[in-house]
Structure 1
């Protein structure tokens, strides 16, 4: 995790005109796999719209919204309306690259920033104990300002319950706290204005060094009844909320487990990533008899900082300290490891290692260009509703936000505003809007430039930062 340092500040915006500079890896550029076809099915228009502009669909060139409206009025698809894929084809062309506007300045390194599932709330957590919940629908007003309890080093993660009544937050401690965000109080000071209940993930261990058992990642299950957590003691924990006790501990890796998540809404399958450079797949339905991972995914040559599931129980992406995002299919399994002695918190990544490839790499594609240093940089699939999950987006230690095309590997946007590492970011589930949070303390809101206006020039953004930060 990051301790100090400052990132560079440069400008490179190739997305404003919709151009796609191919900065992806050769693997991603030639991705020909089931997920590529699923992505196209979910984000490309009905083939009958090619009647409007002959040959465009065959060449995979964008069909304009005007052409699609003509095709809809003429009922070329036979439906008389747009399908979800048709809508995604239109919406996914409008990337959130304009601005940004500043939502808030947290005043310290900001580690967590996430929209709720319906996009009505936004959660941000900083190193100086504050977690703020913004009401997006009410003009980004602060609905809850939470002062964390028993903080160790920083807020490492925070997660909203599916019903948006509760929030859990973690730090470098085996105690995860849960707070009721539906109460009337705006200022939530632990054990003063409200109770922040502590959930013990330590199993009563006698180890006095709580830092080695700190929680790096915590997530609610889809039904809100369980929490899954990644710990510095090399373990994964599952906590049952109705019974208020740990239901499972998996001694999962040989080093810190930095990230964990449920694979889909069933909660049966869990993905984990560790500093041992491995991603693992765990099936809880057969764990009692096997007691080991269902799959080991090898390809990263350094530790894993974050995993995001596509939500289908089959595909996920991972960010690694080897400076790449990788795409995985859990039906491909393998096991070796290459790891040099370096510390990503304060050392540059060795230049000679940037093009190294794991000899048993089983990933489907690799996306390069961003920087994974100093902290556990996060990456995500873009939303299903508006983009058909056709993009991957990630923060970066060089202060930019990067957006890649899932299928081609092209870098479609590189957003410049922040002065320091961008650790977390979140794309609105329904609108072309993205929020990034940085170690400069700023929460920035990016939107699609409506009315065909150009994005705000980098010179103006830099002037604003000099005046306000």
Structure 2
């Protein structure tokens, strides 16, 4: 494990502005910069050294504790932004400890929304659910059904009673995680109900390999699933009616990722190998049948999207070796004029990214910022905003094909941590929603847990 305070690349704003060390005031920065500062800076009265004189950020924990005890903020306790300012200085970069080691590539690793569970999915069809607060003991060992190639994604329901898993097949399976059975072998010890996203009810006419699902997510109310597929489409499945609700022919190539924009569940974000991020309003699909807008800027396919949760901002990981930050209020109404000529025959699954393309920019780049340094090769590597509770979403983080985990400062673009432990690709990683803890999964078969020393 190594650390670096060196800036990998300054984030370039729309209009050519640069986020640098002089941007602490937030003047001229996008709205997200102001929001992030408000959520991760201490109360102004806690920064006072003496009347009329304030200490420069970051404020030491000792001074903040002294200010709290002296009740400088007149609140008798830390605010949420005080807490974020303290906890965001102590990143989960030490260790790690090995939680599990399998003879199979690990593709998925995610904490549950309350942080009590950790889900890991492996290529050989194992899905393990660990009890985080019970010394990471295996709560449920799921042996997947009808697996093709690998577990591509998993998702826990909001109440954590059910888990769905997908592979390169139109069938998504659902498992009861609350049952007493620890060893859940599909249709041997437990039933793994199959949800057919192809819309076929008759097995005689069903092609199990018609298309594959790269990404599947529960809605925030647990009533629906949304999925991204290799047939260029987005699917929404109604779990209450147990039927496919809608199929959206969304892109011109594989849709690798899809997610809900916020808790309301009306807005969807999607990303595809056609290089585009798209925004969808489900309330308009019946009348318009098309996207609300398009975000252009990536030069290669998009591997993953994570929403900021406010219905405005998102980040995307791209095969052009970059993460981009977006504001959907800057999206375009269509893709005309945004097509790029194919300049080089390149396949990310087995080739290195051409060095002469690394710093090129899309002529119609609508992103707010770009983060570089990690590598996106061979698999659909994921990226995320850091937790709101403990960091105020001050950072973004990602796995990498060079076996590292990268943590960037959202506002400056600085690489604040580069974690080295795994021997092979880190496809997925997950920051605990409340604790300074980060779980990672790698193609070396290791599930690791990083913490503050």
In structure 2, C-alpha distance between the alignment counterparts of 1:173 and 1:358, rounded to whole Å: 34
**Offset of residue 12 of structure 1:** 3.8
Corresponding residue of 1:271: 269
Query: Once the two structures are superposed, what CA deviation does each residue of 1:326-376 show, in whole Å capped at 9, x if it has no partner?
Result: 000010113313344311000110001000100000001000000000000
Q: Is the 8 A contact 2:400 2:406 kept in 1?
A: yes
**Offset of residue 212 of structure 1:** 5.3
Corresponding residue of 2:163: 167
- Aligned with 1:383 (options 384, 387, 407): 387
In structure 2, C-alpha distance between the alignment counterparts of 1:258 and 1:128, rounded to whole Å: 21
Q: Is the 8 A contact 1:52 1:70 kept in 2?
A: no
- Aligned with 2:8 (options 23, 31, 35): 23
Corresponding residue of 2:32: 35
- Aligned with 1:284 (options 271, 276, 282): 282
In structure 2, C-alpha distance between the alignment counterparts of 1:355 and 1:233, rounded to whole Å: 31
**Offset of residue 81 of structure 1:** 1.5
Matched, 1:430 2:427: no
In structure 1, C-alpha distance between the alignment counterparts of 2:261 and 2:359, rounded to whole Å: 30
Q: Is the 8 A contact 2:266 2:283 kept in 1?
A: yes
Corresponding residue of 2:339: 337
Distance of aligned partners of 1:270 and 1:57 in 2 relative to their CA distance in 1, 3 Å threshold: farther
The DSSP-based 3-state class of the residue aligned with 2:86 is helix
Corresponding residue of 1:49: 46
In structure 1, C-alpha distance between the alignment counterparts of 2:424 and 2:207, rounded to whole Å: 30
Structure 2 alignment gaps of length 5 or more: 21-28
Distance of aligned partners of 1:55 and 1:357 in 2 relative to their CA distance in 1, 3 Å threshold: farther
Judge which range, 206-215 or 432-441, deviates more.
206-215
**Offset of residue 79 of structure 1:** 1.7
Corresponding residue of 1:137: 133
In structure 1, C-alpha distance between the alignment counterparts of 2:50 and 2:58, rounded to whole Å: 10
Q: How does 1:65-104 map to 2 (within 5 A)?
A: 65-104=61-100
Distance of aligned partners of 1:269 and 1:34 in 2 relative to their CA distance in 1, 3 Å threshold: same
Q: Is the 8 A contact 1:152 1:173 kept in 2?
A: yes
In structure 1, C-alpha distance between the alignment counterparts of 2:123 and 2:237, rounded to whole Å: 25
Distance of aligned partners of 1:53 and 1:341 in 2 relative to their CA distance in 1, 3 Å threshold: farther
TM-score when normalising by structure 1: 0.90
Q: Is the 8 A contact 1:337 1:358 kept in 2?
A: no
Q: Is the 8 A contact 2:197 2:244 kept in 1?
A: yes
Distance of aligned partners of 1:82 and 1:171 in 2 relative to their CA distance in 1, 3 Å threshold: same
Query: Once the two structures are superposed, what CA deviation does each residue of 1:9-67 show, in whole Å capped at 9, x if it has no partner?
Result: xx6433xxxxx2211334175172100000000000011122137898675x2101111
Q: Is the 8 A contact 2:11 2:412 kept in 1?
A: no
Corresponding residue of 1:180: 176
Q: Is the 8 A contact 1:404 1:410 kept in 2?
A: yes
Matched, 1:294 2:292: yes
Q: Is the 8 A contact 2:11 2:411 kept in 1?
A: no
Matched, 1:370 2:374: yes
In structure 1, C-alpha distance between the alignment counterparts of 2:372 and 2:50, rounded to whole Å: 34
Q: Is the 8 A contact 1:316 1:328 kept in 2?
A: yes
Corresponding residue of 2:23: none
Structure 1 alignment gaps of length 5 or more: 1-10, 15-19, 450-469
**Offset of residue 72 of structure 1:** 1.4
Q: Is the 8 A contact 2:47 2:64 kept in 1?
A: no
Query: Once the two structures are superposed, what CA deviation does each residue of 1:308-335 show, in whole Å capped at 9, x if it has no partner?
Result: 0011111110000000000000101133
Distance of aligned partners of 1:58 and 1:406 in 2 relative to their CA distance in 1, 3 Å threshold: farther
Query: Once the two structures are superposed, what CA deviation does each residue of 1:367-406 show, in whole Å capped at 9, x if it has no partner?
Result: 0000000000000000000000000000000000000000
**Offset of residue 210 of structure 1:** 4.8
In structure 2, C-alpha distance between the alignment counterparts of 1:109 and 1:69, rounded to whole Å: 45
Distance of aligned partners of 1:228 and 1:53 in 2 relative to their CA distance in 1, 3 Å threshold: farther
Corresponding residue of 1:225: 223
Matched, 1:319 2:351: no
Corresponding residue of 2:25: none
Corresponding residue of 2:352: 348
Taking only aligned residues, the RMSD between alpha carbons, in angstroms, comes to 1.7
In structure 2, C-alpha distance between the alignment counterparts of 1:117 and 1:246, rounded to whole Å: 26
Q: Is the 8 A contact 1:94 1:448 kept in 2?
A: yes
Query: Once the two structures are superposed, what CA deviation does each residue of 1:69-107 show, in whole Å capped at 9, x if it has no partner?
Result: 111122221222211000000000000011000000122
The DSSP-based 3-state class of the residue aligned with 1:193 is coil
**Offset of residue 171 of structure 1:** 0.2
Judge which range, 438-447 or 69-78, deviates more.
69-78
Number of equivalenced pairs: 433
